[in-house]
Each structure stands twice: as C-alpha cells, then as structure tokens.
Chains A and B, each alone.
Chain A
Amino acid sequence: MLPKIARGVHALSIILILMFLLAPVILVFPISFSADAYVAWPPSAWSARWYVALLHNEEMVTAFRNSLLIAACVTVITLVVAMPAAVALTRWSFRGQDALISLFTAPLLLPSIVLGLAILVIFAGYGLVSSWPGVVIAHLVITLPYALRVLMTGLGTMPSFVEDAAGTLGAAPWQVFRQITLPLMTPALVASAALAFIVSFDEVVISLFIAGTQLKLLPVSLYHYVESWTDPLVAAVSALLVLGTLGIVLIVERAIGLGKAVSK
C-alpha cells in the first residue's frame, strides 16, 4: 500500500515540476487570444484582435524585420569566422592550443551585462552605437563561442583518417576540405547556424546597450513595450516566437541533439 502512495506522490510531483517549468511558455497562448484591453485571467472573451493589432503595429513589424536581418548577417559571419578556426583547432596540434580554445569560448563565462557595457564603452568612441555594423559585430561575441564549440565537437567526432587518405591519394588540401570535410560536417554546420541565428535573434542585454533607441530590435522593443503597456500584444508576439523557436529546436535536435548544443 505504502509504496503505491509513494509512487503516486512521486509521479504527481514530477508532473507539477514539469508544469512549473513550462507554464510561462504555455500560458502566453490563451492570453494572446484574449479580447480584453489588458492582461487578465480568465479573459472575458476570446478573439484574434491582438494578432491583428500586431500586424498594424509599425514598431513591432520593423523591429521584427531588423532582428531577422541582423540575425541572418550574424549567422553568415559567424560561420565564415568559426569554421576555419574549428578546422585549425581540431586538425592541427600546436603549443597554446588549449589556451586559445579557452580564450575563444571565454565570453560565454562572462555576464552579458558586462560584455554589453564593455562593448558600448569602446563602440561609443567610434560611432558604432545604434548602427547596423555595430550590432552585428557585438552579437558575434556570444554567437562565435557557441558555433565554435558545436563545430569542434562535430569535427572531433569525425575521423581524420578519411581526410588523410584523400590527401595520400593526391587530393590538394582545399579539395580534401570541399569534398570530404565539408559534406561530413553538414549536421554540425546546420546546428551551429541555427544556434547562432537564435542566439542573435533573442539577445536582449547586449542589444539594449548597443542598438540604442534608433535601431529597433524585437527583444528590445518588447522589453520597452512591457515597461509601459499592459495589453496582451506582447503575448501575441511571444506565442509566435515560441512557435518559431520550436521549429529551430527541431532542426538542432535532428542535426546533433539539443543537449550537446546548449550546454555551457
């Protein structure tokens, strides 16, 4: 009798903890279909008015487009910079290699509020604040470590003897890279691209410092909107963002497994 009760209590607590973890993400969906002018539970009636309002909210639409464009630029540059570095750090062995890897992944250990402030102070002197290049470069500080780690893991689990064999058979280094290495590391590339995109798109602290008030970015605009308004508009944006993120999660999970990608 007792073990049965214990097992029931255990199962119930697991379900409650899981609900606690997922509650904020799930509850924005019903609230986003509220017909009320402010966030209240339960909504007095249901409607899609906040989705319509969202389409007509110029700031949110512009901010969404800017964030997409910035994230796309950041993703491309991240891959272009991280990919050769990942090849160098896994296919060569040289003195100081571990120190270099630590240096390149160190930004993940620092609070983003410190990174944001540090970059702001430097960029302010060069007129890079509130500019597109400024924001793109600043985002690289957090996307590069993630991408580098995923790519290095991908290359590390890939046997290098295939490349050596191609080299022995007379293929030039560039040929080996294009015909052997690149196809084999496609999953790691897809995963690091998806991660870089989502990290840049979601980044709010560094963007708050660098984007300033002129360059609108979605997380920053949402943050400022919540500061001054209490209507369910943000719930509509949140619901859409959760769905978009879910899509990217599936891509990363298919490519390499989510657990490997997001661990610090």
Chain B
Amino acid sequence: MALRFSEQLDELNQTLTRMASFVEQSIADASRALRDQDIKLAEQIIKADDEIDSLEKQIESFCLQILLLHHPVASDLRYISSILKVLTDLERIGDQAADISEISILLAKMPRHQDSPYIFKMAELTQKMVIDCIDAFIKQDIQLAEAVIYQDDEVDRLFQVIKDYIFTMIRTNAQDADLAVDYLVIAKYFERIGDHATNIAEWAIFAQTGVHKKRRII
C-alpha cells in the first residue's frame, strides 16, 4: 500500500505541476496579448481555460480517491487536503487570465492607446508569485512560501499606483473613461491573482506545519 500510495502522490504532483504550468502560461500570455493587442493569443488563453478546468476536476477526483482508499493521516492528510484548497485558487487564476484576455480583445479593437507600464509590472510579479507558490507547495519550501506572501504587498502597492493613475486619467480626459475603467478591471484581476498565489503559499505552509494563517487547524 505504501508503495502504491507513494506512486499515486508522485502522479498527483505531476498533474498539479502540469495544471500550474498552464496557469503560469496563461498569465504570461494574457500580459503579452494585452501589450501586443494580439486577439488570436487572447482567444487561445480563453480556450486554454477549459483545459485548466478539466485538470482541476481530474486532480480533485484523484485526491478524493486517495482519501477514500488510503485514509491518509499526518503530513499526507495535510498535503492532500491542501491540494483540494490550492486547486480552487489555481482554477480562479486561470479564470482571471481568461477574463483579462476578454478585455484585451475589446481593447485591441480600439485605436492604439498608452498602456500603464505598471500593469505589465503587476503581470510579471504575479506570474512569478504563481510559479513560486507552486514550487513552494510541491518542494515543501516554507521560506519560499513566506516570500510569496511578502511579495503580495508589492502587488497591492502597484494596484494602488494604477488606481491613482487611472483616476488622474479620467479627471484629465473624460473621453477615455471607458478605457480607464477597462484598465482598472485588468489591474484588479492581477491584484486578485496575487491574492490567490498568497492563498496557495499559505496552504503550502499548512501542508508542512498544520498551521494556517498563524492558527493551528489540525
């Protein structure tokens, strides 16, 4: 049983890594599609979200089977139960990359406009957070998980900068208000991606320690 369980854990980790790679790619592509006004790429991201959803269901079912058949305890129980939580965050990140792409398609059809450089900085930072939080989860690296949580403050700061920039844009040129709101929504999606990466990092810490947000829950 132990050998079979260990093989199943490896398979679970591989599938989780594959899902995480899709999600990371979606964020990078969403940022590129926005910058390059690439409608085709944006459409591909929206389509790729179905693959992310399908992997979510696959991993969820795998975890439930492990719970059913192996009755894991201690670190194994924490790990499997936290994967079930992490999945939700990963799936939401995929949704948000698709949502950003939907707006990108609309923006691409408008005349060329000046992008806020901070949007791409947020995209870059959140993509790194997602890569790191999944690495921290799979490699059981608490320090890396804590670094991800720390990085979220920078994402929040950037969101505030963008918000101020957009308000100024609306005040100085009311004609661009629609465009400004679209940018604000995109920034908000990246800010939420940062929150989801933080959640994943918190579950990575829980999987090792049983402590979630400084509270022992098991």
Verify that A and B bind, or say they do not. Answer: no
- Chain B residues at the A interface, C-beta cutoff of 8 Å: none
